[in-house]
Structure formats: structure tokens, C-alpha cells
Amino acid sequence: MDIAFLKLLGIVILTAPLGGALVCGALGPRRLKDRTHWASIFGVGAAAAAALALLTQVVGAVRTSQTSGHEAGGSHVSATIPVYDWIATGARPSASPPVAAPIKGLPREDARLPHAPMELSSPSWFRVEFLVDPLSAIMLATVTCIALLIVIYSRDYMRHHDHAERGYERFFAYLALFVFSMCALVLGGNFLLLYLGWEAVGLCSYLLIGFYYGKPSAAAAAKKAFLVNRVGDFGFGLGILLIYITFGTLSYHDVFDMIARNVDVTGAALDPSKLTTLALLLFCGAAGKSAQIPLYVWLPDAMEGPSPVSALIHAATMVTAGVYMIARCGAIFVHSETAMLVVAVIGGCTAIFSATIALVQTDMKRILAYSTISQLGYMFLALGVYAADSAVFHLFTHAFFKALLFLGAGSVMHAMGGVIDLRQFSGLRHALPKTCKLILIGSLALAGVPLFSGFFSKDEILHHALSVHPALGIMGLVTAALTAFYTFRMFFMAFAGPLRVPEGVHPHESGSWMILPMSLLAIGAIFAGYLGVGFVGRPFHAFLEPVFHNTFLASTLHGAHEVVAAAPAGHAGAAISTGAAAGFMAEYGLLLASGGLAILSILAAYVVYGKNPWIAATVRATAPRVYGLLWNKYYVDEAYDLALVRPLRALGRLCFWLDEYIVDGLVWLIAFVPQAMGYGARGVQRGALQGYGLAMGVGLAIVVTVVLTW
């Protein structure tokens, strides 16, 4: 692994989409017009090629280190590559921060050696730097490849009757800008760049949700997304400041190194409660970006954006940034049992909570949105039970099948003339045969039907959850059943039954620009899961092992990995013991159970929505309150409006009133004093000569008297 080459690849990954965005924006409106998509395709394509090259480099490095460094108990493959000095204040660091050798077969004992206290200076010297390791490599490859497929898909989607829609070039510029931002988020080697990418993807999300800005609902949804994210980012930003205060640096490498050595910037031992605070603050940001309770409310509304955007940003990539961040900061999280518990509980609750809402919604994209929230909940649950590799694995498989489902929904919407309400159409399998098959594949994967990718990754999470927090694991199982049910409810409502379409719509199958990317995603949705299957050696997990072996995997009995010496703080996971045989039984039992549940739920959905639609109506009629509660999404939006937005607005009005009348009034009062004195003295200066003469005489008399008597 050659550092200069990696740096070059990193620069290509960032600049190619950025350049694409600039070309779209600058040349799109006048020159390129209907061909603007090429600029975006080339930009993102170059980034995808570079990301795959990066991935092969890292795969090679992991292979070498695993064969050579196995004796030392794990290997560490990561490279921090400085690019240039960005925000530079304070004294320049005397020696440039250690640039990790690309392959560092560091024996674990070395990391625990006591170190001399750091000197009392904290150079606030922030540079643009890349962190290349298996986690960032796999994320980059996923993001850029899926983005490329979606950009290709958008070429047709953003046209009607082969005429580019209004804002065609704007759309492709934003899309390429998003890819740049997301890559910056993933590739950045310090918390400041993470924050940069974090805010920049938020911006792109804002711009793309509000793409149809003429629609008030779209404009409102965009604003809501940005603001809710900002609330999370508030905590996230404070967390970053606190990291700086505690460690005197924001570089991942240095921060995690100091945690491993258990020192803070003053050289004292770390305060565990501080790490908990840190982890919880960072989690605020993750909850915002990845739409977890209580900040999930923006994601369903985000479906106002065009479907490719929902697929790319609000399903496959951006919303997983929170998962990536926690996986990246494992060193911080695993030292706090509280934080890990919070992550797990929030994840588990979000998963089941949003799955129940999805049961009754009729907007196809919103169902998928709630399903995304629910699946993200799974990923957080996995992180919370120390199974970060399973979380990333689920992130990886989810990216394929959820992007596929959203693109499928887009295809339906395209055919239905913009209508996406499931009550408006049915029996589309006749009109859209290809889309139907592709959505079926995506649904099977999402439902967790055996042999599809979602099955393997979800099952792993359930396995770990059951062994660490059984209650959360059972919640996960219930969620799995609900997931299969609502997914196929959606599928049967749209595709089963007699053909029925909204008035004036002539359904047509999408063209190959749209079908081809969906087909490629479908291949991923079927086969991506096999990268994590035990009998092929779990290559995905083995690849990620160097990233997590000191953090998540060191903290619990987990899969086939050995337990390594417990880190300074004790962990819940370490108390769990699973004998090899019992583990084997449990694992296969669970496989059967979750697979069976999925199939049963699909059958139930078929009975209710495919065959006997009256059952659903009866259920709705018998429990109108429950139905209403779910239909109105537990009234959370209304509650937020009542509890937060209105009081704040009122406070704003109060401030303005105070400003107009009290604060300004006081100032006028002060100004009035000299004026009043002037009024008082006005009587003296009436312009009457007698008065002046009198005053003069009296004054003179007084002066003379005083002088004479002195």
C-alpha cells in the first residue's frame, strides 16, 4: 500500500464529483442542458473507480497483515494521510503527528505501555487529512458505486417524454455535490472533516428534499430536515469541542491513541464519566443524521424529494453516516457501558416503533422511509451490543436492497404520473412486469427471507442482541416479523389484484436507463449477504476485523473471535459466555426462527392484502383508535410543534416586543433626561431682556461678594 498512491486516489474521490458538480452548475443551464447528466456520471464514475482501486489496495494490505501479523494477535491497518493545513492556529505541532505506517503489526501490549504526560500545549492545528482503513474503504466503495447507479437511473427519471424536467442540471449538480460531501465525511481523518462532511451532506439533503421548491410541502420538509439535523449537530458539535478540550487534538489517530493509553491532554488518567458524556453528545448527532428517536421525524417528510434522492441519500448512504460515525468512534463508545446501552435501547426502540407506523401508511415511499428508520434502528442495536461489524454489514446489504426498493418505487411513480398512494392503483404486475420482479427481490431481501442478503445481516444482529440484551433481541425479532408483513402489504397492494391505475394515466414500463441500475442493485440485494456467511469464512467481517479488534470486538465474546483482554472499563458483554456448541445451536435455531417468521408474515400479508382485502378493513373498523394512532404517526409531529416550535416562536415575539418597548424604551428614557433638563432650563431663556439682566445682576453681585469677602 503506497501512501502517495492512496493520497492520489483520495484526491480523485473528492475532486471528481466536486468537479462534476461545478461543471453541471456552470455549463448545465446554457451549454449542456439535456446532456448535463454526463458531467455527473463521469464525475461520480471516476470517484467510483478510484474508490474500488482504494478498496483493492486495502484488501491487499489486510491480507498481508493477517498472514504476517497473526501471531501478534491481530493487526492494525490504517493510514493517516495529511493533505494540507486547513484551520491553523496556535503553535505548529513540533513534530508532525505520527503518520501511521500503512501496515502496523502492533502487538497489543505495546499500546498499553505507560506514557509520559503530554506537554501542556494544545496546538489547534487542523489539517485536511485522509484516514484510509477497511472501514472507510468499504464505505467509500458502497457510496460511490451506488451513487453511480443512481445517477444513471436519474437520467431517465428526471425526464418526462424525453424532455428534461425543470432544474435538470441543478439536480445533477446537487447529486454530484452530495457524493463529494459524503466521501469527505467518510475519508476525513479528523473530527473536523467529519463535521464538514456531516454538515455538507445535510446541506445537499436540504437542497434535494426541497428540489420541487414550488411545492410548499417540499419546502417545509427541506427546512424540517435541516433544522432537526441541526439540533442533533448541536450535541455533535459540543462533543467535538469536548474532545478537543479533553485530548487537545481532533485527529482520529491521536484521540484513539490517547484513549488506548488512557491519558488526556494534561497527562492525567481519563475520567470515565467524561467519555460517557462525549459518547452521548456524539450520539446526538448520530440520532439526528440517522433518524433515530427522538430526531427521526424529518426522514418520512424527506420523501418529498425526487425518488433517486430518497434512494441515494435517505436510504443507502447519508442516513447511515451516524452508524459510520459510531463505528469509527468505537474507542470512545466501548468505554462507556451507559452510552452503549443508550445506543442499543434507542436503536431497538426505533426499530419497532417505526415498523408499527409503517404497518398502516399508504404512501409507498413513506412506508419505505419508516422501514429505513427501522433498519437503521437495527444497525444501532448492533452497535450497542458490540457487534459493529454486523452493523456495518447490515449497512452494506441494506444499501443495495433499500436503494433498489426506492428506485422501484420511483419507477412506479414515474409510470403512475407522480402518484404514489397505494390506494390509487393495484395489479401493476401486468403493466410493469420488470419493475414488479425487481421490487419483489428487494422486498424479499428487506423482509429477511432466507438466502437473500437482508436475511444474513439481520440474523447476525438478532443473534448478538439476544446474547447481550435478550429483551432487545426479542424486540428485534418482533420487528423482523412486522417488517416482512408491511413490506409485503405494500407489495401486494401495489402489484396484486386486477390492474387499476389513476385516471388519465397510461402505465408504461421504464426504459433501460432505469431498469439496468435496478437490475445491478438486485444482484447486490441477492448476493451481498454471502460475503458474511460462515461457511465461506465471513470475508466481510475478516476484512473489517482490524478496525474493530481493539474496540468493539475486544469488549465482548463475539462470533468466532477470541476474547482479548478486557479494556480498562468492564463490559456487559464480557459476562456472557457461550460455549461453542451451544452457540452453534443457538445460531442455527435463530436462523430457522427468523427465516420462518419472515415467511409466515409474508403469508399473512398475502392472506390479508393479496386475497381478502376485507380483513384489513374489518381490523381497521374494530380498532379505530389504534389505527388512528398509527396513521397519525403517534402524533409526534404535533407534539413537537406544540412543545417546541410554538413556545420558541412565542419567546421570539416576546424578545422582539421587549426590544421594541422595554430595551429601547429604557434608552429613550436615558436620552430623555438631558432633554428634560433642557425643558427645565428653557424657562430661563425666554429671550426677555429683563430676565437676563436680572440674572446677570444677581450673578455679578454674588461673585463680587464672594471675591470681596474671601
Partner 1 sequence: MTAWILTLVIASPLVGAALLLLPRAENRRVIERIALWGSLVTLLLTVVAAVLFFRHPTDGGFALKLAASWLGGTGEGADLREAGNPLAGAGIDVAYRVGVDGISIWLLLLTAFLTPLALASSFTAIRERVREYYILLLLLEVGMLGVFCSLDLLLFYVFFEFTLVPLYFLIGIWGGPEKRKAANKFFIYTLGGSVLTFAGVLFTAYYAYAHGAGKFTLNIEELMRLARGGAFPPNVQWWVFLALAAGFAIKVPLFPLHTWLPLAHTEAPTAGSVILAGVLLKLGTYGFCRLSIPLLPDASRAWAPALAVLAIAGIIYTALAAWVQRDVKKLIAYSSVSHLGFCILGLFSMKLAGMNGAVMYMVNHGLSTGALFLVVGCVYERYHTREFDKLGGLARRMPVAAFFLIVFTLSSIGLPGLNGFVGEFLVLLGAATSNQVTDGLAAGPLGFSYAAAAAVGIILGAVYMLYMCGRVLFGPLVEPAHTPDTSHGLSHDLTRREVGILAPIALACLLLGVYPKPMLSSIQSAAQANVFQPIEVRQASAGALGDAAPFVAMGSEIGIPMLAVAQQEGPPATVAAGADDLEWVTSARFVPQEHDSP
The residues with which 250 forms a beta bridge, in sequence order, are none
Q: Is 677 in the site for partner 1 (CB under 8 A)?
A: no
Is 231 one of the binding residues for partner 1 (CB under 8 A)?
Answer: yes
Q: Cβ closer to partner 1: 652 or 691?
A: 652
- Give strand ranges (E) for 27-183: 76-77, 79-88, 103-104, 125-132, 159-160, 163-164
As measured in angstroms, the least distance from the Cβ of 644 to partner 1 is 11
Binding status of residue 124 toward partner 1 by CB under 8 A: yes
664 belongs to the binding site for partner 1 (CB under 8 A): yes
Closest CA to 146 of 320, 335, 278: 320
Task: Report yes or no: 228 and 295 within 8 Å, Cβ to Cβ.
Answer: yes
The minimum distance between CB 292 and partner 1, in angstroms, equals: 19
For the CA atoms of 10, 12, 17, 23, what is the dihedral angle to 10 degrees? 150
**Looking at 1, 152, 179, 192, which residue binds partner 1 (CB under 8 A)?**
192
DSSP 439-457: HHHHHHHHHT-TTSHHHHH
638 near partner 1 (CB under 8 A): no
Among candidate residues 501, 489, 500, 499, the one with its CA nearest the CA of residue 610:
489
> Pattern 245-274, binding to partner 1, x per CB under 8 A?
x-------------------x---------
Spatial distance between the Cα atoms of 48 and 74, rounded to a whole number of angstroms: 30
Asked if residue 223 binds partner 1 (CB under 8 A), the reply is yes
Which region, judged by CB under 8 A, interacts with partner 1, from 205-213, 334-342, 427-435, 469-477?
205-213
If one asks whether residue 656 binds partner 1 (CB under 8 A), the answer comes out as: yes
Asked if 11 is part of the footprint of partner 1 (rule: CB under 8 A), the reply reads: no
State the CB neighbour count (10 A cutoff) for residue 359: 16
Number of C-beta neighbours around residue 687 at 10 A? 6
- Among 157, 191, 244, 247, interactor with partner 1 by CB under 8 A: 244
Binding partner 1 (rule: CB under 8 A), the pick from 104, 108, 230, 274 is: 230
Interface segment toward partner 1; rule CB under 8 A; list 194-202, 294-302, 519-527, 630-638: 194-202
Cα gap 671→347, rounded to integer Å: 59
In the window 332-351, what residues touch partner 1 (CB under 8 A)?
none
Q: Which residue has the cell 433544522?
A: 227
Q: Minimal distance in Å, beta carbon 217 to partner 1?
A: 10
For residues 140-159, which are near partner 1 according to CB under 8 A?
none
Q: Helix, strand, or coil here: 709?
A: helix
Q: Is 655 in the site for partner 1 (CB under 8 A)?
A: yes
CB 219 within 8 A of CB 207: no
- C-alpha dihedral (323, 324, 326, 332), degrees to nearest 10: 170
Cβ proximity to partner 1: between 119 and 562 the closer is 119
Any contact of residue 234 with partner 1 (CB under 8 A)?
A: yes
CB neighbourhood size of 685 (10 A): 11
**Using CB under 8 A, which of 33, 63, 70, 85 touches partner 1?**
85
Residue 250: is it exposed, middle or buried by C-beta count within 10 angstroms (0-12/13-18/19+)? buried
Count of residues that bind partner 1 according to CB under 8 A: 55
Q: CB–CB of 464/578 below 8 Å?
A: no
Binding to partner 1 by CB under 8 A, coded x per residue (else -) over 442-471, reads: ------------------------------
Binding site for partner 1 (CB under 8 A): 84-91, 120-124, 192, 195-196, 199-200, 203, 206, 210, 213-214, 216, 218-220, 222-223, 226-227, 230-231, 233-234, 237-238, 241-242, 244-245, 265, 648-649, 651-653, 655-656, 659, 663-664, 666-667, 671
